[in-house]
Structure 1
Amino acid sequence: MSRQEFLQRLRDTLTGEVSGSVVEENIRYYEEYIRGEVLKGSSEEAVTEAIGDPRLIAKTIIEASENAKESSSSGSGSFYSSFSGKDQNVYEEPGQERRGMHYYDLSKWYWKLLGVVAIVLFFFLAATIVTGIFSLLAPLMGPLLLIGLIYWFIKGLKR
Structure 2
Amino acid sequence: MIVQTAPEGAPRFVMRMSEHTALSDQFAEAFGKADFEPVEDEASRYIIANHDTGWADLDAEFRVDPNTGCPYNLSETPFELIMGTSSGSPDFNERHDPFSGLLSSMHSWGLYNGRYGLSDVVLLDKVAEQNVPAAEKNAGGRGSPAGAAQIHLAGGQGQCEQS
Using the size of structure 1 for normalisation, the TM-score is: 0.28
Higher relative CO (CA 8 A, sep ≥ 6), structure 1 or 2? 2
Q: Which has the larger radius of gyration?
A: 1
Say which structure is richer in helix.
1
Using the size of structure 2 for normalisation, the TM-score is: 0.27
